[in-house]
Amino acid sequence: MRLCSRSKLVLACSALGVTFSLAACGGDDTAADAAADGGMMKSQTPKNDANAPTWYKDIAPIVSDKCTGCHTEGGIAPFSMKSYESAKDFAGSMAQAVEDGRMPPFLAQETDACKPRLPWANDIRLSADQKKTIRAWANAGAPEGDKAHPGKLGTPAPTKLAREDVVLTVPEKITVDGKQDIHTCMVLDPKLKEDGYVIGRQITAGNNAVLHHVVSYLVTPQTKADGTMQTRAEMLAALKKEKNVAPGGRYDCFGGPSLTTVGFEMLDAWAPGGVPSMAPPDSGQPISKDALVLLDTHYHPTGNGAETDDSTHLGLMLATSKPKLVSRVILLGNFEGTNDTNFGTSTLLKQPGESKAEFMIPAGEAKHVEEMTWTWKLGKTALRVYAMGTHMHYVGQDMRVTLEHAAGARKQECLIETPVWDFNWQRGYAYDAAYADLPEMLDGDTVRMRCVFNNTTDNAHVLKALDDRGLDAPVDVPLGEDTLDEMCLAAVGIVYPNPN
Whether the CB-CB separation of 212 and 281 falls below 8 Å is answered with no
Q: Who's near 486: CB < 8 A, 6+ residues apart?
A: 359, 361, 392, 393, 395, 396, 453, 477, 478, 479, 480
In order of their start, the domains of the chain are 8-22+160-497 (2.60.120.230), 28-139 (no CATH)
What integer pLDDT is reported at residue 404 of this predicted model? Answer: 95
What integer pLDDT is reported at residue 306 of this predicted model? Answer: 94
Residues in the chain where the model's pLDDT stays below 70: 1-48, 69, 74-77, 154, 156-157, 254-255, 271-274, 342
How many Cα atoms sit within 13 Å of 485 on the Cβ side? 19
Torsion over CA of 457, 462, 463 and 464, rounded to 10 degrees?
Answer: 170
What integer pLDDT is reported at residue 26 of this predicted model? Answer: 37
Query: Which one, of 378, 200, 183, 192, lies nearest residue 300 by Cα?
Result: 183
Task: Report the distance separating Cα 459 and Cα 397, nearest Å.
Answer: 9
Decide the pairing of beta strands 325-333 and 283-287: parallel
Helix, coil or strand: residue 304: coil
Q: What is the pLDDT of residues 222-240, one digit of tens each?
A: 999 899 999 999 999 999 9
User: Which amino acid makes up residue 385?
Assistant: V
Q: What is the pLDDT of residues 124-140, one digit of tens each?
A: 889 999 999 999 999 99
DSSP of 380-394: T--EEEEEEEEE--T
Decide the pairing of beta strands 396-404 and 413-418: antiparallel
What integer pLDDT is reported at residue 25 of this predicted model? Answer: 36
Q: In what order do the strands lie in the sheet with 338-341?
A: 338-341, 344-348, 368-376, 446-453, 396-404, 413-418
In this structure, the number of other CB atoms found within 10 A of the CB of residue 492 comes to 26
Task: Report the distance separating Cα 157 and Cα 134, nearest Å.
Answer: 21
Whether the CB-CB separation of 33 and 41 falls below 8 Å is answered with yes
Q: Report DSSP state, residue 55.
A: I
Task: Report the distance separating Cα 45 and Cα 69, nearest Å.
Answer: 30
What pTM was computed for the model? Answer: 0.77
What integer pLDDT is reported at residue 7 of this predicted model? Answer: 30
